[in-house]
C-alpha cells in the first residue's frame, strides 16, 4: 500500500501497522520523514585487529552455517561472499560485540524499495540492522540501510551508489534483565561509511515485520550473528568481530 499523496514522493509503506511508542509513526510508515541523503567518502576498510575473530577473510565460509545447521549455501567468488539460498549464522556466539563488515549490491540489478537489494545482519540472531541498497532507492525509513528494522531510521542516508562498497561498524550491547523484565534495552551504535547513523540507540525489542517489537521474558546471554538472504545476491567481504567483555576480565 502507498502513503497518502501530499508533496512528498509516494513511498510504499504501511499505515495499518501499530504506532511505534514515543513516535507518531506506524511500523514501516512510508510517510515517516526520509533521512537526509549525504554523500559519504565510501566504504572504510578496516583490517582485522590482532584480537578480532575473523568471520570471513575472502577464502571460505567455514565460520558459518545455514540457519538450519546445514552447510552454508552462500557462494565465495573473487574474495567475496554472495548471499544465496538461505540465511546463514555464525557457529560462534557473541554477546556484547564490535562488528565490522563491508557489503555491496552488484551494479545493474534492478532495485525497488525493499526489493532487489535487501539483506541484513541480525545481532544475537534477533536484532536486525538493515542492509539495503538505499542509494536513490527510497523506502519506508525504518527499513532503509542501517535502520533498526521496523523501529528506527538512521540519522542520515549514507549509502554508496549501487555497485560500490559500503562499510558498517557496529557496537552492540545485549539487553539487561532482572528476572523476566528488561531493565536496560539492547543498545547499538552504527557507523556507515565512516558516518554515525545510529548513536547509542535502544532496540524496542527483537526484530519483527509489520508488528511492534517487544522483548521476550527469557533471553540467552549470547547468540550468533545472522546474515539475511532476502532473494538478492548481496555481496559481503572482510567480516570480523571483537567480543566486548568486562574491562578487567584479563586480571
Binding site for Mg ion (CB under 5 A): 118, 120, 228
Distance CA 49, CA 46 (A): 8
What is the nearest approach in angstroms of Mg ion to the Cβ of residue 87?
10
**Alpha-carbon torsion angle 148, 203, 97, 103, nearest 10:** 0
What is the nearest approach in angstroms of Mg ion to the Cβ of residue 118?
5
Look-up of cell digits 539460498 = 85
Give backbone dihedrals phi and psi of 141, rounded to 5 degrees, phi first.
-60, -30
Report CA 241 to chain centroid distance, whole Å: 14
The residue number whose beta carbon is nearest to Mg ion equals 120
Nearer Cβ to Mg ion (34/119):
119
Distance CA 3, CA 153 (A): 17
What is the nearest approach in angstroms of Mg ion to the Cβ of residue 181?
29
Indicate the pairing of strand 156-157 with strand 187-192: unpaired
What is the nearest approach in angstroms of Mg ion to the Cβ of residue 101?
14
Nearer Cβ to Mg ion (182/192):
192
Nearer Cβ to Mg ion (102/182):
102
Nearer Cβ to Mg ion (120/175):
120
Amino acid at each position: 500500500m502507498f502513503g497518502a499523496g501530499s508533496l512528498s514522493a509516494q513511498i510504499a509503506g504501511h499505515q495499518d501497522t501499530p504506532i511505534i511508542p514515543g513516535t507518531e509513526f506506524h511500523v514501516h510508515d512510508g510517510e515517516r520523514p526520509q533521512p537526509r541523503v549525504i554523500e559519504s567518502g565510501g566504504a572504510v576498510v578496516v583490517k582485522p585487529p590482532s584480537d578480532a575473530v575473523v568471520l570471513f577473510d575472502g577464502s571460505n565460509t567455514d565460520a558459518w552455517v545455514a540457519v538450519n545447521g546445514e552447510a552454508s549455501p552462500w557462494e565465495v567468488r573473487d574474495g567475496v561472499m554472495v548471499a544465496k539460498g538461505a540465511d546463514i549464522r555464525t557457529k560462534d556466539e557473541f554477546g556484547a560485540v564490535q562488528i565490522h563488515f563491508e557489503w555491496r549490491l552488484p551494479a545493474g540489478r534492478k532495485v525497488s524499495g525493499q526489493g532487489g537489494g535487501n539483506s541484513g545482519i541480525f545481532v544475537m540472531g534477533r536484532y536486525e540492522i538493515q542492509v539495503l541498497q538505499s542509494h536513490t532507492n527510497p523506502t519506508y525509513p525504518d527499513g532503509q540501510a542501517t535502520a533498526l528494522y521496523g523501529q528506527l531510521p538512521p540519522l542520515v542516508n549514507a549509502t554508496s551508489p549501487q555497485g560500490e562498497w559500503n562499510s558498517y561498524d557496529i557496537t552492540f550491547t545485549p539487553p539487561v534483565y532482572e528476572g523476566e523484565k528488561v531493565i536496560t534495552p539492547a543498545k547499538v551504535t552504527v557507523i556507515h561509511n565512516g558516518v554515525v547513523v545510529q548513536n547509542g540507540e535502544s532496540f524496542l525489542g527483537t526484530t519483527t515485520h509489520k508488528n511492534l517489537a517487544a522483548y521476550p521474558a527469557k533471553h540467552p546471554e549470547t547468540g550468533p550473528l545472522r546474515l539475511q538472504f532476502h532473494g538478492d545476491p548481496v555481496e559481503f567481504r572482510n567480516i570480523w568481530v571483537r567480543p566486548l567483555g568486562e574491562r578487567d576480565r584479563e586480571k
